[in-house]
C-alpha cells in the first residue's frame, strides 16, 4: 500500500499550552466504526496508571449533568500502544485520545507520535517542555478523530489535558453530531406536528415521525408531545407566554412553570400524585446561552412523582423573543427505568437546540 502523509501544523496559545493540528490521509481506508460519546484511550501502561491517567479520567469521565444515577460525559476504553499496534480492529474506531511522554523515546506511543509529527516538530516539542495537544484525522480509517496529549514529562501532559479539555470535548461532540442527528430524527419527520409547533409557538423545530400528540391545551397554549418505546418514554412540551419582565427568567420562576405543567397535565390513578422538580435531594443546574441567536435560560434537574418512586431527568429552556415580547418555553423530560439516560437526553436537547425562532 502506498502511504501518503500530509501534515499541516499551526500553533495556538490555549491556557498556557500549545495546540496544533495534524491532518493525515491514507489511501484505501475503511470507514471508522464506534459509538457516539466513546473515546478510545491509547497510552503506555505506566503512563495510564499514573496521575496522568487519573487526570484524564477525572475530566472525561466526569458526570453528565444531571441524571438520577451518575453517567459519564464520555465512555472510555483503554488500550496500550502495543495492543493498538498489533490489532487492525482496534485501529478502526472513530475517536481516539493518545497520551505520550516524549521523554520515553523507546515507547511505541512516543515513536508513533514522532512519525506523525515529524522529527523536527517532535524535537521542538521535546526541547520546549510545554504541554501540547495535536488534533489528527483519518490516521487508520476514514472519519477518525485523534487527539494527542503530550509533553516532556507527566506534569506537562497533565497540563495539556486540563487546559484543553473544554475545546477537546467540543471537538468530540461536533465529531459525533451526525450520529446524534441520525439518532434524534431517524428516517422521517412528523411534518404536521412540526408545522403546529412553528405556527403556534414561534419556533421551527423538526419533530421526528415517532412523536405523537399527548395533550393540546389551546386556552393556555400548551402542547405536549411524546415518543414511547420499550426502553424509554421521551417527552417535549411547548408553551408560549407574554414576556413582561426579567423576573420571569429567574430560576425559581422557571421551576414554578414546570411544576405548574406537572400538576395540571400528567394523569395518575393515585390521588395527589403529580410531577414536581426534585429540589430537595438533587441540585437544579442553571445555564445561560443562545438558541438561534436568542437569549436562552436553561435549567437541568430531576423530576419525580409525589406518590410513586418514579422520576427522571429534564431540561427546560426559556427562549426570549424580544421582537414579539414573548417567551418560548420548551421542556424535555425522560422516563427510562433501568436504562442509561445520557444519550436519550442528548437527543431531546439536540431537537430543541436546532430550533429556529421566528419574528
Answer for the pair 113, 98: CB distance below 8 angstroms, yes or no.
yes
108-113 contacts: CB < 8 A, separation 24 or more?
108/44, 108/81, 108/82, 109/42, 109/43, 109/44, 109/47, 109/81, 112/81, 112/85, 113/148, 113/150
Number of H helices, E strands in the chain: 10, 17
d(CA 150, CA 70): 30
So what's the architecture of 187-357 in CATH?
3-Layer(aba) Sandwich (3.40)
What's the pLDDT score for residue 20?
52
Q: At residue 80, does pLDDT exceed 50?
A: yes
Question: And the C-alpha cell for 168?
Answer: 477537546
Report whether CATH 3.30.379 matches the domain 12-175: yes
Per cent of the chain over pLDDT 70 is 92
What's the pLDDT score for residue 5?
31
Nearest to 130 by CA among 9, 12, 6, 8: 12
Query: Is residue 15 helix, strand or coil?
Result: coil
Instruction: Give the start-to-end residue ranges of the domains of the chain.
Output: 12-175, 187-357
pLDDT band at 141 (very low <50, low <70, confident <90, very high): very high
Q: Quick check: bond before 349 cis, omega within 30?
A: no
d(CA 126, CA 120): 10
Q: At residue 25, does pLDDT exceed 70?
A: no
Region of poorest pLDDT, from 120-129, 226-235, 258-267, 340-349: 120-129
H or E, element range at 235:
strand 233-242
pLDDT band at 7 (very low <50, low <70, confident <90, very high): very low
Query: Is residue 319 helix, strand or coil?
Result: strand
Cβ neighbour number for residue 49 with a 10 Å cutoff: 12
Region of poorest pLDDT, from 128-132, 218-222, 223-227, 289-293: 128-132
d(CA 275, CA 191): 30
250 vs 106: which has the higher pLDDT: 250
Question: And the C-alpha cell for 2?
Answer: 502506498
Q: What is the pLDDT of residues 186-239, one digit of tens each?
A: 878 999 999 999 999 999 999 999 999 999 999 999 999 999 999 999 999 999
Q: At residue 3, does pLDDT exceed 70?
A: no
Query: Is residue 71 helix, strand or coil?
Result: coil
Tell me what the mean pLDDT of segment 85-98 comes to.
95
Burial of 2 (0-12, 13-18, 19+ CB in 10 A): exposed
Q: 0.95 exceeded by the pTM?
A: no
Q: What is the mean pLDDT of the chain?
A: 90
Question: And the C-alpha cell for 259?
Answer: 411544576
Q: At residue 6, does pLDDT exceed 50?
A: no
Question: And the C-alpha cell for 78?
Answer: 483503554
Amino acid at each position: 500500500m502506498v502511504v501518503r502523509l500530509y501534515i499541516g501544523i499551526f500553533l495556538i496559545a490555549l491556557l498556557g499550552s500549545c495546540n496544533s493540528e495534524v491532518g493525515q490521509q491514507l489511501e484505501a481506508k475503511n470507514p471508522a466504526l464506534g459509538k457516539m460519546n466513546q473515546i478510545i484511550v491509547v497510552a503506555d501502561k505506566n503512563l495510564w496508571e499514573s496521575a496522568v491517567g487519573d487526570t484524564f479520567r477525572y475530566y472525561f469521565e466526569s458526570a453528565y449533568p444531571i441524571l438520577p444515577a451518575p453517567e459519564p460525559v464520555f465512555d472510555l476504553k483503554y488500550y496500550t500502544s502495543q495492543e493498538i499496534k498489533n490489532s487492525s480492529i482496534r485501529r478502526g474506531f472513530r475517536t481516539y485520545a493518545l497520551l505520550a511522554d516524549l521523554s520515553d523515546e523507546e515507547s511505541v506511543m512516543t515513536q508513533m507520535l514522532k512519525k506523525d509529527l515529524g522529527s523536527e516538530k517532535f524535537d521542538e516539542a521535546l526541547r520546549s517542555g510545554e504541554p501540547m495537544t495535536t488534533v489528527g484525522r483519518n490516521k487508520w480509517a476514514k472519519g477518525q478523530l485523534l487527539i494527542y496529549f503530550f509533553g516532556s514529562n507527566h506534569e506537562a501532559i497533565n497540563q495539556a489535558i486540563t487546559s484543553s479539555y473544554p475545546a477537546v470535548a467540543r471537538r468530540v461532540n461536533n465529531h459525533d453530531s451526525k450520529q446524534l442527528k441520525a439518532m434524534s430524527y431517524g428516517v422521517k419527520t412528523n411534518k404536521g406536528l412540526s408545522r403546529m409547533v412553528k405556527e403556534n409557538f414561534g419556533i421551527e423545530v423538526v419533530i421526528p415521525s415517532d412523536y405523537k400528540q399527548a395533550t393540546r391545551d389551546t386556552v393556555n397554549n400548551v402542547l405536549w408531545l411524546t415518543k414511547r418505546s420499550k426502553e424509554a418514554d421521551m417527552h417535549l412540551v411547548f408553551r408560549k407566554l407574554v414576556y413582561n419582565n426579567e423576573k420571569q427568567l429567574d430560576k425559581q420562576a422557571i421551576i414554578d412553570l414546570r411544576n405548574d405543567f406537572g400538576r395540571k397535565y400528567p394523569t395518575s390513578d393515585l390521588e395527589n400524585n403529580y410531577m414536581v422538580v426534585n429540589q430537595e435531594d438533587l441540585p437544579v443546574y442553571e445555564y445561560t446561552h443562545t438558541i438561534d441567536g436568542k437569549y436562552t435560560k436553561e435549567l437541568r434537574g430531576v423530576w419525580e412523582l409525589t406518590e410513586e418512586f418514579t422520576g427522571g431527568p429534564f431540561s427546560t429552556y426559556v427562549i426570549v423573543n424580544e421582537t414579539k415580547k414573548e417567551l418560548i418555553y420548551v421542556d424535555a423530560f425522560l422516563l427510562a427505568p433501568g436504562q442509561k439516560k445520557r444519550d436519550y437526553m442528548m437527543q431531546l436537547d439536540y431537537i430543541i437546540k436546532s430550533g429556529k425562532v421566528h419574528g
